[in-house]
Amino acid sequence: MNYKELLLKHDKKGSFEFPKNFDYELLNKRFHNVLNELNVKLDQSFEIEEGLLIQDASFHADIILQENKEETGIYRTVLRFSNFGNFVTLSDFKNISEDWKNIIFDILEKQSFIYIPLEYLYLEYDGCEAGKINSWWIRYFDYL
């Protein structure tokens, strides 16, 4: 898959938080389908951040897979859902087992989400709003 082409394809001038014809209710339903399936298949009850907790952002919601308190603060591993292109990313792989990764990717594929690896999101943003945004992460997965 050519991730760079995919990122550019969904990059439209003036659409910072969500694309034209964005269907919040549909994305929210699909997000909850993933959450419910993860809870069952991984025998967990994952916390989420969504709705009023996510404002002025290019992403929809997070499923908090892990949370560790460290001296420097709270460190979270999240599955983050963008408002654009059915994109999803995982904030970190280091604490996620291969079994969990396989289950997560299977569920995402079943729900027609497209996983975008972090290495593409950390590239310098060179889309249609260049100069206003620093990275593809900010473009599709961050607060604006």
Please state, in angstroms and rounded to a whole number, the distance separating the CA atoms of residues 5 and 119: 14
Residue 15: CB atoms within 10 Å: 16
Of 28, 11, 29, which is closest to residue 20 (Cα–Cα)?
11
| C-alpha dihedral (5, 6, 7, 13), degrees to nearest 10 | 90
Quote the DSSP letter at residue 53. G
Q: Over the stretch 50-78, which tens digit does the pLDDT of each residue have?
A: 999 999 999 999 999 998 888 888 889 99
Of 40, 25, 33, which is closest to residue 88 (Cα–Cα)?
33
Q: Over the stretch 22-55, which tens digit does the pLDDT of each residue have?
A: 999 999 999 999 999 999 999 999 999 999 999 9
Rounded CA Rg of the chain: 15
Mean pLDDT score, 72-96:
92
Give the predicted TM-score (pTM) of the model: 0.95
Q: What is the pLDDT of residue 17?
A: 95
